[in-house]
Amino acid sequence: MTAITQEAAVAVAAPPRRRAARKRIQGAPALFLAPFALLFTVFFLVPIGYAIYESLYRVHVSGLGLGPTGTVFAGFANYTQALSSSGFVSGLERVLLFGVVQIPVMLVFATLLAMLLDSAAARFQRFFRPAFFLPYGIPGVIASILWSFLYLPGLSPIVSGLKTMGFGSVNFLGVHTVLWSIANIVTWEYTGYNMLIIYAGLQAIPKELYEAARMDGASEWKIATRVKLPMVFSSVVLTAVFSIIGTLQLFSEPQVLRAVTTNISSTFTPNLDAYTQAFTANNPNEAAAIAVILAVGTFILSFGFLRLTSRRGGLGR
């Protein structure tokens, strides 16, 4: 290669040429970074900027919609409109309620499973671990389609099974139950994935720690709660942050279930609302405002959660 012979020449040549080589090293990080940086700018930073810009403007229609249209600066009008519309607010409340219930349930479930798999008492780990992880390999849309069949009376073996067991006809798609049916889909999809993160944390704990605890007379329960749990705390925090981000974005599951039930409105979650505003209501400006509110909300919640827990976790570490 010519590059190599050149470099070799540089190595034996006079000092000025060596300086040239150093200069090339200085240029290298820029070249390595450039492709990513360019795409990151175009597909991350510019859209964020554009969303903020769009959210501050509004289409102005004059003369009964027949006259010329133009955009006018609207300040925070799109934001106040979104935040005062009952659809958006109830959608936001709905995902918050969903998160407050579903995230702890799923993470406790995942932590318990990880601990059970990690414990000496568990058998057939080689079968159970992949079995629990399998749903994560199924994309959200397909998982939702699958579960929508399992919720549908006439098709679902679960509905008919519950009936023969004497529970009557359970309606998974009712006004009050459909949110929790969605929670079940999300739990089914992500428990195994979260379990794997926590399990990885458990496996990294040096086994001498357990030995030492046992020597001190700690029971298995004490070891689980006083040694294992604090040690995997940072893994659980990681799963919680991923879950918070995911919950606020809730979209595919309710969107898919709309095919089988009328109890999911077009503003069921904030993201559904944004989608409706942009494509059905033809109001991209308010949709942009909703996207910005969601992104900022996600950022504040996940970052706040990290700050909160890192202070607590700092003591344990």
Partner 1 sequence: MLAESTVRPERDPAPLSRTRSGRRPGPVYTKGSILTTAILFVVGIYFLLPAWWLVVSSTKGPSSLYSSEGLWFGHFDLWRNLTGLFTYNGDIYLRWLLNTVLYAGVGALLATALSAAAGFALAKYEFRGRELIFSIILGGVLVPATALALPLYLLMSKVHLTDTYWSVFLPSIVSPFGVYLARIYASASVPDELLEAARLDGAGEFRTFVSIAARIMSPALVTIFLFQFVAIWNNFFLPLVMLSNQRLYPVTLGLYSWNDQYGQAPQLVSYVIIGALVSVIPLVIAFLSLQRFWRSGLTAGSVKL
135 to 194, contacts with partner 1 by CB under 8 A?
Answer: 135-143, 145-150, 154-158, 160-161, 188, 191-192
* Sign of the four-CA dihedral 257, 262, 266, 269: negative
Q: Which residues of 84-106 are buried (b: 16+ CB within 10 A; e: fewer)?
A: ebebbeebbebbeebbeebbeeb
- Binding residues for partner 1, rule CB under 8 A, total 118
State residue 218 phi and psi, 5-degree precision. Answer: -75, 140
Cα–Cα distance for residue pair 158/115, rounded to 1 Å: 29
Stretch that binds partner 1, among 58-66, 95-103, 170-178, 246-254 (CB under 8 A): 246-254
Stretch that binds partner 1, among 38-46, 57-65, 66-74, 99-107 (CB under 8 A): 38-46
Question: Could you tell me the CA-to-CA distances from 176 to 173, 179, 229, 254 in Å, in that order?
Answer: 8, 7, 35, 14
String marking each residue 188-227 x if it binds partner 1 according to CB under 8 A: x--xx---xx-xxx-xx--x--xx--x-----x-------
Q: Please, which residue, 66 or 264, has the CB nearer to partner 1?
A: 264
Q: Please, which residue, 47 or 67, has the CB nearer to partner 1?
A: 47
Beta bridge partners of 27: none
State residue 217 phi and psi, 5-degree precision. Answer: 85, 20
Q: Please, which residue, 179 or 190, has the CB nearer to partner 1?
A: 190
Stretch that binds partner 1, among 66-74, 86-94, 99-107, 123-131 (CB under 8 A): 123-131
Q: Enter the tokens of residue 43.
A: 């597909």
Rounded to 5 degrees, what angle do the CA atoms 263, 96, 190 make?
A: 85
Q: Please, which residue, 63 or 208, has the CB nearer to partner 1?
A: 208
Q: Enter the tokens of residue 32.
A: 């390595």
Query: From the CB of 234, what's the least distance to partner 1, in Å?
Result: 6
Segment (H or E) for 93: helix 86-118
Query: From the CB of 174, what's the least distance to partner 1, in Å?
Result: 20
Cα–Cα distance for residue pair 50/258, rounded to 1 Å: 30
Cα–Cα distance for residue pair 114/196, rounded to 1 Å: 7
Query: From the CB of 46, what's the least distance to partner 1, in Å?
Result: 7
Q: How many helices (H) and strands (E) does the chain have?
A: 16, 2
Q: Is there binding between residue 120 and partner 1 (CB under 8 A)?
A: yes
Q: Is there binding between residue 108 and partner 1 (CB under 8 A)?
A: no
Summarize the chain as % helix, strand, coil (round to 5).
Answer: 75, 5, 20
Q: Is there binding between residue 119 and partner 1 (CB under 8 A)?
A: yes
Residues 266-295 that bind partner 1 (CB under 8 A): 271, 274-275, 278-279, 284, 287-288, 291-292, 294-295
Stretch that binds partner 1, among 78-86, 96-104, 130-138, 169-177 (CB under 8 A): 130-138
How many other CB atoms sit within 10 Å of the CB of residue 20? 11
Q: Please, which residue, 179 or 201, has the CB nearer to partner 1?
A: 201
What's the one-letter identity of residue 239? T
Residues 61-100 that bind partner 1 (CB under 8 A): none
Q: Please, which residue, 9 or 61, has the CB nearer to partner 1?
A: 9
Stretch that binds partner 1, among 56-64, 78-86, 125-133, 168-176 (CB under 8 A): 125-133
Q: Please, which residue, 178 or 288, has the CB nearer to partner 1?
A: 288
Residues 224-243 that bind partner 1 (CB under 8 A): 234-235, 237-238, 241
Query: From the CB of 170, what's the least distance to partner 1, in Å?
Result: 15
Closest CA to 228 of 238, 215, 214: 214
